[in-house]
A and B are shown apart, each in its own frame.
Chain A
Amino acid sequence: MGHGEKGRPNKKHKSSAKEDHRIIVEDEDAYYGEEVDDDNRDGEKKRDFTKLELKPDHANRPLWACADGRIFLETFSPLYKQAYDFLIAIAEPVCRPESMHEYNLTPHSLYAAVSVGLETETIIAVLNKLSKTKLPKEMIDFIHASTANYGKVKLVLKKNRYFVESPFPEASDYVLKKLLKDEAISKARINAEVSNGSDGFTISKAKGEIGTGHEDLLSGAEVAAAAEEKETHAFEVDPAQVENVKQRCLPNALNYPMLEEYDFRNDTVNPDLDMELKPHAQPRPYQEKSLSKMFGNGRARSGIIVLPCGAGKSLVGVSAACRIKKSCLCLATNAVSVDQWAFQFRLWSTIREDQICRFTSDSKERFRGNAGVVVTTYNMVAFGGKRSEESEKIIEEIRNREWGLLLMDEVHVVPAHMFRKVISITKSHCKLGLTATLVREDERITDLNFLIGPKLYEANWLDLVKGGFIANVQCAEVWCPMTKEFFAEYLKKENSKKKQALYVMNPNKFRACEFLIRFHEQQRGDKIIVFADNLFALTEYAMKLRKPMIYGATSHVERTKILEAFKTSKEVNTVFLSKVGDNSIDIPEANVIIQISSHAGSRRQEAQRLGRILRAKGKLQDRMAGGKEEYNAFFYSLVSTDTQEMYYSTKRQQFLIDQGYSFKVITSLPPSDTGADLSYHSLQDQLALLSKVLSAGDDAVGLEQLEEDADDIALHKARRFMGSMSAMSGANGMVYMEYSTGRKMQGQLKGKPKDPAKRHHLFKRRFT
């Protein structure tokens, strides 16, 4: 029984922690072998916990907890909100659709829980209170085992000196001594004069945890115990060795992971920065919540906050900086987003113009006074080569300064070695990482855990959609059958390097894309972004359709110009982006994405691209559940059927599906009655396109490679190609020229009257 050359893989669900940590092979050819043994593994994965004892009032309790760490949460339980807040603090969300959420307890998630101030017994008590069954013994043991050592040691930066601190009396001397037995740590210790017999530990007092938010689930006594003032003991370590010490303390070594906290209120050494949030900047409830996790005990914790794109990450960042009120170093991924961050600081806070500066290759500003905000890119800081005299000076300043807050944007894209470098160069009291998608195809998320800190908060996408905070996106996967001729070439062995170009240039896909652009431009008046990873396809599509495009080689000035036109001009409604547009280019106007090619099975890219249109538009009440417009943004992923794309596509969607998004499959685009209205209708045109694809050099049809994109290189191994020089330089200016002629054409098309009855017809005519 045949179902096409390659069966469409299922919407597979990752269901065990083990599998989640499996490295995802990005090598295209390795997939087919992998698929086969998937089933065998699945066979063993069934887990029988029917023997767990149900509590008599189980119907009123919201969750089940399994011995292997999996937790199921009913979202319709009256206790859902409390349970959700609690679970998100102690466990890793696996999937969060409408009625039932799944979470995994992992050592890292528990580490995060402890670091926001939850104690082992609290975790177990609350979990037990919420669980329908008696807690499995394995889970209790697991929590004990994982958290026994967590939260016992803190790394504190005081007066430019690093201290390893431990609370007294329950652990301190014992733990600190144990740490000092480690060679690397004892070497790193400074001022170790054992004079008065007390091991020379510094003694001080610290406030206990307040406001963890789970008091309502606990008795008063338990809360009181947590809020008591505690005495701490500490020893100092060499700043140069901090990274080493931290690493020695990780779960895979001494297993006393260190928490980093910054007592900024009592920091008298570093000058204050006079900045407040402007009155109009009112953090939304979930932003408030994420900040409360960060500043839970009056100090600032290092860690990562995960919010969907468009949910207002920058406001969280700016608010954090305003609370700490010390110098802040803000790192972004590229020059465009540096501009955007600087803008956000000015927009939301009362910071003076001369206290904020940008440091990029194009603009080398310096702030006046003794405290301020510097916005720069990771590359600028980590750059190892020779710098200009001017930037050398600025870098020196950055190096010598003690930063109150190191604000890091899009932490998921920056490779670990870059972080290490950045963190070793800059001395900061508190590190805050911001991201939308804490998934990495290379599974290096664990690195972030100790380089920056644990995940402090992660928002639920679906809740934000329901609350109207982000756009409600209709996701669709458009199936474009390969034309006979393209498919025949696709199957040929000698074309193995052109496979991608062949399925991206599939005339049916082109027609579907053209149709969608027309539909959204003319009938809904939408703003459209078309994404293509494949440079050859990007140029072909953009030129044929006469639309502007931006890719790696497009200069900063030109990018800004195109984006400005897209934002303001009524004539420019569609822009073609290569993967430079994946992250942090803020295009709030866009509400439609059409994806014609993408980077293999990258879940993160899919989520990031979706993020481009998540910024909520229109009136709040229309967007809320039950509002006027059910969907106000559209995400189309065009895939050529029976090709590798189908496989990748399902893989890519996994993250979004786990967040509760669903992909509709559309099989009938463009509608069969469009005929010659769209390009490549005649066989002749199609064949001409085919020969163009085939005659292009292998290197020309490959993927675009971006210089700063180092972590992707690791993923793609030998399968990546540089775009050819001719395509890069030649096409550049040409496309931008052609876009003015395109304007005329669009003007004519615009004249057609809108037919309101045709709205959303895309979603009505499926299966017809």
Chain B
Amino acid sequence: MPEVKIIAKNFMDMVASLPAMKLDKLYDNAFICEAILRSLPPLAKKYVLQMLYIDSPITAKSMEVWVLPDGSSKHRVAIDRLIQLRVFTETVDRRKETTYKINPTFQTNLQKLLTHGEVLPREPMPSNITVRLPSVEELDVYAIGQWECFLLQLISSAQAERPSNISSSMMKVFQRGLLSQRDKEAPRLTDSGFQFLLMDTNAQLWYIIREYISNSEERGVDPADLISFLLELSFHVTGEAYNSNTLTEVQRNTVKDLTDLGLVKLQQGRKESWFIPTKLATNLSVSLTDSSSRKQGFVVVETNFRLYAYSTSKLHCEILRLFSRVEYQLPNLIVGAITKESLYNAFENGITADQANILLQLTPELYSQIISFLQQNAHPRVAERIPTVPENVTDQIRLWESDLNRVEMNPAHYYDEFPSREIFEAACDHAREWNGLLWEDSKRMRLVVKAEIHIHMRDHLRGQKQ
């Protein structure tokens, strides 16, 4: 299995990684241009605005004059980003002089935006047509509900309550890297899958969206179209209804998928149908580290390693089950216990035998992730208590962790059946000389040496035979 690194980079990195052609096409869309402008670092924003009405290329030298010497690193970052996003194009002429020029499509669109003002991608539908629009709270509940249902389905399809529109093949794509399946066995969470579940919603969402975009070509959808639509969506207003007629065929299909993720809600009127973006959609392009939208905590951990989670969510139950033993499920409470077994099982479940060697490097991250999950989701009752998770519990979790690290793995070779004691002893001496003797049992004439001296040992033993 390839090593999956879960990096929650931002949406614009994804945009920047598109091929030049696609990127240029993307700038046909005025909202994208605006979104890009918004996402830029401050200095880059200034450059764009400065060059907005200049049609001829500017030399790199003359641009450097704009910044003070100590700002040069910021300058570099800004220029790099602009080139990456193809907002600027870089040319080196015959005299080896570097010049920058602003992308003409981008330029035109942005000029238009400045003079004509912002235009919404589509107008919300008038309220006399749309009826029964959900309130903001209802919409939030809906979005979280959909998202959790999706996650449940993701980690174990048997748990999901409702069938969803997301095809099983697409589900497989999402599960890739998060779950591992060996033939005939039930799929199990991998190390990354484990980390994934402990991340906050925004980070998880971004991971899924990234997979969704990068897989789009297989479904015959242009990733650029998809990115453009998702960015467009983030310019819509949460809770407003937008007519589905305004969507292209591709977009309409995408909206169906996004419904399952909780990004939009679909409603059907008498004649028209419309979609309502939720806050998950409108937050998509904003900074992912924004934690202002943090939900209220729900977990109480006691000094006796008991864990009480005020939650009705099945997903929470599944997450807790990852590292604790769930004992009671009540209508609005989950009761469990953190045990050494439950923690170790979690890792052993997630990690297949051939990965055993990377276990040692990965687990510390997981442990601290569990602890931070418990801390971040602390119930308001204990949130003001310091520490939120009792010290003896976090200590013990760390000690369990360090228990795993007590074993140091050394590749080694084992020798036995020595023909005579002399040869055995000579072999021991030889290994000692190379500083590679790990263990010897002189009674039964067995020894273990470091793998790297195996070749010397072999030569030595061959020499003895002759």
Binding site for B on A (CB under 8 A): 1-4, 7-13, 15, 38-39, 42, 45-54, 58, 64, 66, 70, 72, 76, 95, 97-100, 102, 132-133, 657-658, 660-665, 667, 766-767
Contact = CB atoms under 8 A, between A and B. Distances in A.
Interface in B314-367: 325-333, 335, 337, 339-342, 348, 356, 359
B390 A662 contact: yes
Contact of A4 (B332, B382, B406): B406
A133 B359 CA distance: 44
Contacts of A64: 330, 333
Contacts of B412: none
12 contacts: A1-B404, A7-B340, A10-B342, A46-B327, A49-B330, A54-B332, A64-B333, A95-B306, A97-B303, A97-B304, A133-B330, A662-B391
B137 interface: no
Interface stretch (B31-39, B60-68, B215-223, B395-403): B395-403
Given A99-B308, A657-B303, A66 B328 contact: yes
Given A3-B407, A8-B340, A99-B381, A70 B304 contact: no
A48 B329 contact: yes
B314 to A, nearest CB: 9
Q: List the 6 closest pairs (A to B, CB-CB), nearest first.
A: A10-B339, A662-B303, A10-B340, A97-B302, A662-B392, A3-B403
B300 A99 contact: yes
B331 A50 contact: yes
B329 A99 contact: no
B340 to A, nearest CB: 4
Interface of B: 300, 302-306, 308, 312, 325-333, 335, 337, 339-342, 348, 356, 359, 381-382, 390-393, 395-396, 398-400, 403-404, 406-407
Nearest to B382: A99
Nearest to A13: B337
Instruction: Point out which of A7, A49, A662 has the most chain B C-beta atoms below 10 A from its C-beta.
Output: A662
Contacts, number: 125
Given A50-B329, A72-B333, A133-B330, A100 B308 contact: yes
Given A72-B330, A72-B335, A13 B305 contact: yes
Instruction: Point out which of A1, A76, A98, A664 has the most chain B C-beta atoms below 10 A from its C-beta.
Output: A1
Contacts of B326: 46
Contacts of B406: 2-4
Contacts of B381: 76, 99
B396 A52 contact: no
Contacts of A58: 332
Contacts of A8: 340, 399-400, 403
Instruction: Point out which of B304, B337, B356, B399 has the most chain A C-beta atoms below 10 A from its C-beta.
Output: B304
B328 A70 contact: yes
A507 B384 CA distance: 43
Contact of B340 (A9, A42, A95, A98): A9
Contacts of B332: 54, 58, 132
A48 B382 CA distance: 25
Contacts of A2: 406-407
Contacts of A38: 341
A95 B304 contact: yes
Given A95-B306, A662-B392, A49 B339 contact: no
B141 to A, nearest CB: 17
B395 A766 contact: yes
Nearest to A9: B340
B303 A1 contact: no
Nearest to B356: A1
A295 B325 CA distance: 43
B328 A49 contact: yes
Nearest to A661: B303
Nearest to B340: A10
Nearest to A96: B304
A580 B330 CA distance: 46
B382 to A, nearest CB: 6
Contacts of B340: 7-10
B404 A664 contact: no
